[in-house]
Amino acid sequence: MPVAMTDLPTKFPDFGLTPHQRRQAVRGHYWEWLGMDGEHGEIWCYSDRFSYRRGETVALHVSSTASSFSVAIVRDGGAETQLFEKAGIAARWQDTPDQCSVVGCGWDASFEFRVGDDWPSGAYRVTLTADGRDGKPIRCHHLFIVTPQPGKKRGRVLQVAATGTWLAYNTWGGSNHYEGITGPNRDQYAPMVSTQRPWCRGFIVLPKEAPRVPLEVAVPPKTAPRYPHMEWAFATGYSKKYASSGWASYDSHFFRFAERAGYGVDLASQHELHFSPEILDGYDCVVFVGHDEYWTWEMRDAVDAYVELGGHAARFAGNFMWQTRLEDEGRRQVCYKYRARAEDPAYRGGDVTRATTSWEAPEIGRPGAMTFGLNATRGLYAGWGGCAPRGVRGFPVYRPEHWAFAGTGIYYGDLLGADSHVYGYEVDGLDHEIRGGLPYPTPDGGAPDGLQILAVGMAAQVEESADIAFEDQFLADEDGRFTAETLFGEASEANLEKVKRGNGMIVNFPRGKGEVFHAGSCEWVAGLLTQDAMVERVTKNVLDRYLGRS
């Protein structure tokens, strides 16, 4: 049975923080850096690339207070398989530039190994362990991807990890695309971030008790918003952004589910879409999951061409918001975001269509709906902060007769995935109208031809309550005003009214010889993580249809 608000706790979890610390957990900027654990000792690691093929050499760049370390490598799929182990590897302390988040750490390679010829495509979790200064073990976690071999892949799924979003949220070194230590006052987010640095704590491995972003509390009326995931991060020493992105919170849950369900799954990073779009060739189904917010023009070109020629794209993900650019052979990601029109060189003599702002900016001319059927600026927040905090936890279904819902027993008006809370924390939607009790895209809403809206829930871009003080709001109206200015040229109250109320949808549409299915929510994977039978069945229906099994 779906979880009712009355079945949820009415008190926020207590992680032992004072009110001041709880506020600092949300509004403060804290991050991981070389030297932060000095008295205990520390070890950090990154690899020279996101992904490798069989037979290629992986270079690990390590800085540690210890003189040696051991390494264990596990393939993290439907089952965990250890494929490599070695001890007694020499380590040393390697200093890091102040702006390493932007320019990279620049550490020398400490250890190299060859990807085995029999290592299947997938995610490979690296654990480095050494002796700390107090005699207790110190460790760090890293991850690299083994990409598939060329050739036909009939009956197999290619999952594309949301590595652009991982980069955008990675706090290691002090700056990401949200907060930072750049600018004259060292208080600005970084429009450029480097791949050459470790992942922040919680992106690769998480304990089971780590909260997800959507609230699992029946928030009493007139209660100031709280953010348990950030409070937990502050209390335990994890990254403030662990729940917003990364392998551990999102991508891993689909990959493990699919393998356990008997599907053949390969894995690639978004860098392959950008630099080697031919990686899609031979697949009947390509999947995108979780929080998948940052894409380059070239990545979209790859997916659009693939679908036009007969491919099937299944997106169980939310927040298709920002265009990025890659520089330095892919080692640097650029996204000026809110400051793009003022600072991005693309607006000053460059190709303005490549400006790193929202895909829906008129000058870009390529709304996200053109690729995946939905737009981020018509969706956004649900089930956290003051944005629909007591709203639906699942997708309200309008077209239960659609093939995606076969075998679920679902009815018109039911909530899909409510018990596992699949609706949130960021969702994608469209302008639509209701006719005869069914939703249809508005004629000027930019929906692709033939798009069917299967489910629709409510979302918001503004925390809006007459009873909650503005200073108690974290999300407030910043995103709503950015959307108003982006779409209509001015962040006026009248324009804010046009955009502050959004929605999240499940849609399906044909394109060329291919087809797209999009469940526009970051949290769809929560249904796979908790083994929600209805969510699993819909996921299998999509995969089976796109793989030619049904």
The predicted pLDDT at position 5 comes to: 53
**Separation CA 267–CA 147 (nearest Å):** 6
* Residue 274 three-state SS: helix
Q: E strands of 270-338, at which residues?
A: 285-291, 294-296, 312-318, 322-327, 332-334
Mean pLDDT for 38-47 is 94
Q: Is residue 214 one of the residues assigned to a domain?
A: no
Residue 1: pLDDT band (50, 70, 90) is very low
Tokens of 217: 């509390």
DSSP code string of 477-503: THHHHHHHHHHHSS--HHHHHHHSEEE
Query: What's the whole-number mean pLDDT along residues 345-373?
Result: 97
**pLDDT classification of 303: cutoffs 50, 70, 90:** very high
Mode of pairing for the β-strands spanning 156-161 and 285-291: parallel
Quote the CA–CA distance of 393 and 480 in Å, as a whole number: 22
Q: Is the pLDDT of residue 289 over 80?
A: yes
Q: Smallest Cα–Cα separation from 191: which of 75, 334, 363, 385? A: 334
Structure tokens at 257: 């589910």
Residue % of the chain over a pLDDT of 70: 99
Is residue 147 within 8 Å of 163, Cβ to Cβ?
no
Task: Give the total number of structural domains in the chain.
Answer: 1
User: Which tokens belong to 404?
Assistant: 């995606």
Residue 240, number of CB atoms within 10 A of its CB: 25
Residue 13 lies in a domain: no
> Is 395 within the bounds of a domain?
yes
Work out the average pLDDT over 315-319: 98
Asked whether residue 429 is domain-assigned, the answer is yes
Residue 344: pLDDT band with limits 50, 70, 90: very high
In a domain, 241, yes or no: no
The C-alpha angle with vertex 503 and arms to 500 and 505, in degrees rounded to 5, equals 160
Is residue 2 scored above 60 in pLDDT?
no
Length of the chain: 550
Other residues' Cβ atoms within 10 Å of the Cβ of residue 16: 7
Look at residue 471 and tell me whether its pLDDT is greater than 90: no
The pLDDT of residue 6 is above 60: no
Mean pLDDT of 312-335: 98
Mean pLDDT (the chain) is: 96
pLDDT value at position 394? 98
Is 36 within the bounds of a domain?
Answer: no
**What's the whole-number mean pLDDT along residues 382-395?**
93
Flag whether 253 is in a domain. no
Strand pairing class (332-334; 322-327): antiparallel
pLDDT of 295 reads 99
> Quick check: 437 pLDDT over 60?
yes
Burial tier of 329 (Cβ tally within 10 Å: 0-12, 13-18, 19+): exposed
CA distance 65 to 44: 10
- DSSP alpha helices (H): ranges in 134-193? 163-169
What pLDDT, on a 0 to 100 scale, did the predictor assign at position 313? 98
- Judge if pTM exceeds 0.95: yes
pLDDT(98) > 90: yes
* pLDDT value of position 4: 56
Print the domain residue range for 533. Answer: 284-321+358-547
Q: How far is CA 481 from CA 230, 357, 491, 498, in A?
A: 24, 14, 5, 10
Mean pLDDT of 354-378: 98
Render pLDDT for 134-150 as a digit per residue (tens, 0 to 9).
999 999 999 999 999 98
- Per residue in 418-434, pLDDT (tens digit) is 999 999 999 999 999 99
CA-to-CA distance for 268 and 280, rounded, in angstroms? 10
Q: What is the pLDDT of residue 154?
A: 86
| 57 domain residue, yes or no | no
Q: Which of these ranges, 66-70, 221-225, 244-248, 376-380, has the smallest mean pLDDT? A: 221-225
Q: What average pLDDT does range 453-469 have in this prediction? A: 91
Output the pLDDT for position 3. 52
Higher-pLDDT residue of 468 and 318 is 318
Residue 510 is predicted with a pLDDT of 98
223-232, 359-368, 468-477, 522-531: least confident range: 468-477
Q: Which residues contact 311 (CB under 8 A, 6 or more apart)?
A: 280, 283, 284, 285, 286, 514
